Structure 1
């Protein structure tokens, strides 16, 4: 129970909590009693506060009342919107006490803190990989098994990580939550934003070991190096054509045109063939 003082304060008789609002102390007491009077009508979950029930119910109804004013992002929980806004503001309120690392979410900080532990208790049975969390081991194991449990409901895309699926879905939704603070550029992933920012700074961090060529993306460097090594990893399945770039689609048109012409020739009637 709680106690009311002459100063019109409500005190918790279990801990040092105090408030001037009776409803606040009633809600607080549930943290000690475990009482959860608010039940979901769609599932078996119960909550100690009505506000938590409302947010949970949104996950069943699909209602997303919280909207970002800078992009099309919507969510069911206010906390998720607060975290999302940090993408636009760049705010990183959580910092590591052991190094200079800062981040936008407490979950990211907790994961980072594991990097300061020397012990890596989880190891892969197929290679020398070791990690700090079993969830990371599961993700790694999919590289060996080829398992892709996450799939897009709008196309045939499948992947091994939920993050990759979330990033892929922006292709369909058109969502571009990452924005440049120096111009109007917007994009769907942080990697593209980092690459774009180099257009403002003029930095070309990737350099060729054979010549003076420098560039902003590792993918461009890989393609360039093939001009020195002669490597052509992309090959046509119909002929001996090979390419250093992944531009086989242009080459493949030469085969589709041949097939199309052949189908037209075969589809001609005997009468047409006799006059040709």
Structure 2
């Protein structure tokens, strides 16, 4: 087992990515990462909160969510007072103060402070659109784009102008008033 973990870790540092998603072409060095990725397509959310209806595809997301119930935030930024339940979130937050952007796109040079932002950015190069509408054949590279699309089916207008009461399906429409 230890040898396979070492091999998988070494592959992450190389360009070798033998595991590929048959749905969108996503490639990874680890089989476990492919299994986790497939949940995007299947919608499987096996990690469930015992305290509310929240469920997620990743255990780490559930761990973060549980901190909302306890309110415990032991890690604090010495510069601005930001508090968090996770040391990794504080490390990520500190990049706002330092300007560090350690994650870089090999295609175009885009840099970011967050690995998740780089992964989302890479979809601009791969054309991957893993977020699918359950009402039509629309698909999107970002979940927020799919969420905006879904209001076409529901007719919901969740954004309201505080001055005149105008309601809209898209937040950006409020800034155009």
TM score, norm. by length of structure 1: 0.57
What's the C-alpha RMSD, in Å, of the aligned pairs?
A: 2.3
2:159 aligns with 206
2:68 aligns with 115
Per-residue deviation at 1:149?
Answer: 2.1
Q: Distance in 1 between matches of 2:159 and 2:26?
A: 34
Q: Distance in 2 between matches of 1:181 and 1:126?
A: 44
**What secondary structure does 2:62 align onto?**
helix
1:256 aligns with none
Residue pairs, 1:246-257, within 5 angstroms: none
Residue pairs, 1:1-276, within 5 angstroms: 46-47=2-3, 55=8, 58-59=11-12, 62-221=15-174, 223-224=175-176, 227=177
Q: Distance in 2 between matches of 1:119 and 1:54?
A: 37
**What secondary structure does 1:100 align onto?**
coil
Q: Distance in 2 between matches of 1:129 and 1:83?
A: 31
Distance 1:201-1:123 versus aligned 2 partners, 3 A rule: same
Which structure is higher in RCO with an 8 Å CA cutoff and minimum separation 6?
Answer: 2
Distance 1:63-1:143 versus aligned 2 partners, 3 A rule: closer
Q: Distance in 1 between matches of 2:28 and 2:61?
A: 20
Question: Gapped runs of 5+ residues in structure 2?
Answer: none
Per-residue deviation at 1:57?
Answer: 6.2
Distance 1:218-1:66 versus aligned 2 partners, 3 A rule: same
Q: Distance in 2 between matches of 1:209 and 1:167?
A: 32
Distance 1:81-1:220 versus aligned 2 partners, 3 A rule: same
Count of aligned positions: 177
Per-residue deviation at 1:110?
Answer: 1.9
Larger Rg: 1
